[in-house]
Chains A and B, each alone.
Chain A
Amino acid sequence: MASSSAAGAGSTDPTAARRNTKRPKYSKFTQQELPACKPILTPRAVISAFLLVSVVFVPIGVAALIASRKVVEIVYRYESKCIPSNVTDRVAYIQSSADKTCRISLDVTKHMKSPIYVYYQLDNFYQNHRRYVKSRSDEQLRDRSEEGSTSACKPEDTANGKPIVPCGLIAWSLFNDTYSFFRGNKNLTVNKKGISWKSDREHKFGKDVFPKNFQNSSIRGGASLNESIPLSEQEDLIVWMRTAALPTFRKLYGKIEVDLNEGDTINVTLQNNYNTYSFSGRKKLVLSTTSWLGGKNDFLGIAYLTVGGLCFFLALAFTIVYFVKPRQLGDPSYLSWNRNPGGH
């Protein structure tokens, strides 16, 4: 009350009041009359929207599908094949120090153009588990002087009273199966350079940080690291440490930079060291070429085709409903408020 009376009291002089009238100033903004476009769903708009979507989506879908089909992919699941048939306790076997070399052969059914990417695929492995994801020390990886900042790494933070570099569960559980490829007797070199992200190599893993005290704790995890190579060049580690999003994932192992021809047989000598048996995870070896879209996955192409097709169908359906049976359905609702036009 007081505030507005104070305002009222302000205009004591009537002529002054006349001059600064309280009439709201006109602007398109305050009067809510800004120029606007008001799209509404007319039949034409709806049908053309559907048609547009299908026109755009179908070609994309076709292209994506072709790209995916062009990709040649060889997938070989080896986790049970590489266990001697007489072993009953697989976990005990894998944890033992026995020689776990395993030879497999892959048939190339289609010409594979280089580069051919070699992946390992794990299954049921929760790299996205909160405990796992958080168990690393970026400071330590990046900076030599931060060696001791291992608080996030427990329990793989120290061994024998000294900090572990690289610390944490992720590094500790580094994948340690190895593959070597032969075509006939000829060794196929696997290029392991450039399989990790450049930004990781250059900014996240230090050039002067060397592995220290790694895999020295009571329980051995995964692979060991060469202590004379700086972390920035340990690309397997770098790849491993980019944790996967879902429990089934592939990681790049290396690149084969020669073409593989149809009918070739590739012999793989493989060290089956990594324990996926305790959580019954599968292991796969994947050789794949890429297209402009990446690897082999029909899903995107099919999805695009489906949506495009669906939209076409919807466009058709709406055309029929709009133009064959225009309006009839709408009319009853007209009448419902037409019946009592209150004002008359």
Chain B
Amino acid sequence: MGAQKKGATARVAEDSEVVARHSLQAILLADSFTTKFHSIILERPRVLLPLVNIPMIDYTLAWLESAGVEEVFVFCCAHSKQVIDYLKFSVTTIEANDSISAGDALRLIYERQVIDGDFVLISGDTVSNMSLTQALEEHKEIRKRDANAIMTMVVQHSKPSPITQQSRLGTDELFMAINPDTKQLLYYEDKAEYSKGFISLDKTLIADNPSIVLHNDKQDCYIDICSEQVLSLFTDNFDYQHLRRHFVKGLLLDDIMGYKIFTHEIHSSYAARIDNFRSYDTISKDIIQRWTYPFVPDILCGSSAIKLERQGIYRASEVTLSRSAQVGSFTVIGQGTKIGNNTKISHSVIGEGCSIGSNVTIEGSYIWNDVTIEDGCRLSHAIVCDGVTMKLGAVLEPGVVLSFKVVVGEQFVVPAYSMVSLIQQPTQQDSDEELEYAENSSGTVEIPSDKLNGEIASDLSETQYGPTPELGTGGVGYIWSIFEGAHDEEWRHSVAPIPTDKLAKIMLDKDEDEELLTQDGNALVEELKSDSEDDDNEGSRDDYASFEKEVQATFLRAVHENVKVDHAVLEMNGLRLSYNIAAVDCAGAIFYSMMKLAVESLHSSARELHRNAVEVITTWQKLLKSFVHDIDEEILHLLYDKEILQEDAILRWADEKEGADESDKMFLKRSEKFIQWLREAEEEEED
């Protein structure tokens, strides 16, 4: 180990020289490796989707260029041809059609051996204007101190909504534990189970770090500054697929070679990744509000092409705008677009070469290029891709996504949150969310099946451009059915704002949950007593609850069927082992069942209840005793502390047992000290 360390430090010295010499490189993954945006990305890669009329990858590349990155490797996978054609060899592209995850991509890049030092790892759908120099300095500084620091993640303050538990970018609430002094990342959980209502931290974290700050108000910007070891790590651990879920969590949990991840927080500058339709909406609005300056439409396109007018209206040259048309604030209108009489547009982005008829209402929508919208249509919070035609009076309800060249029939109302495409929905499509959750809980790695490459060709060939009744008369396209499970969640990631009734419902649900929780808390006080002893397993509570039920059932069966005590002991023991529960807990469960039996059996007075209890206990004492091997004074103390047992009761019990036989005195002996302490305390009080 010592030798290894020496080697490491020597390498660091070498590295710093290398860093000084070599130019800054970046790996840009031009494929998201997920099926978000699935109805659109079957036809066009995500990085080429227009964001405020400019392909997403342009924002990323422009930022990388201005941040001083000299060499960019663009990794293309799905639709690689489109991406390469678009970029026209202005950057080095790496093409691989068989890669199905970020992990595969990085392994391939490692094989090519093009990276020779620190690099920036970013996906092609990131918008940022942060300065890299400071983050790089920090990364180098940390690496000088600690050779095991292989990655610096960029994070930003962003508080998730307290109601929906999701950030403004539509991503789930993210929990991060960070050492405030070193900025080391200690814990990363982006798929916390809200139903459980808690997260668990390894207690060694607390032992190793003097202080830990647990954040839920940080947003992961998905901009990583990595050392070249990251690539080799991916190669070594060939099951790593996902950057965050596998790589980051893997490093944090498994502690591979003691590698560490650090964080760099940005404050005023902007960085965000388009991950779903909601973040598409949010980031578009951020760009229009110029948070991403200087990467804003009028500068990226050149001011002669697009001019910024009052109230945040960006208007390209050669826009034909009717006098009676009303263009509201924060709207972008692309070149060559025609807008008819009395049309109202607000908070929307209209692409190039669109023709919009009269009396159209467009609100909060994203309309791409060459779209035809006939008179009297209404659109609210929708995404309309290239070449779509909306016939007279068609209506798009919030959250609709119309994919390329769809035709919506006259007067047809497309229901909220529907995805419409010319391509039929792939039949065996898994919900991305489900897949992710499945992977997460089971801990095994399932390779997400990549439909994009194999199927798209066949899908395209199968597509029939016949009129389908699905979109009204004259409509062309298929409405995709919403997957099971994701049904209720559509509104979370859609472009449309969350409807107020939904918010109210969540609030209500939440209140109920909280009530339930407090009720549960009251009911399970006893259980919690024993539970609080073991803090290492957060799942134990659930397990314990079900175990308790089992015990209860078994016990009742034993009572009713007059099973022999010995058999009952055996059965209980089996149960205990299968649930992996401590003997003490088991005893607790049995005791609980006994008491319950006593309470449940008919009784008219307290005396009768007492008799019942005594009867049950005397019958089944052997069962209880067989599990209570090592109950000690701690429990007694605990019960006392929690004011469940009164001091007097304990002392009385001790006095009572004074004259009892040896086997009975076993407990007394164990709790001798505590009783002694109690007595002393009493005396002091009397003084």
A binds B: no
Please report B residues at the A interface, Cβ cutoff 8 Å. Answer: none
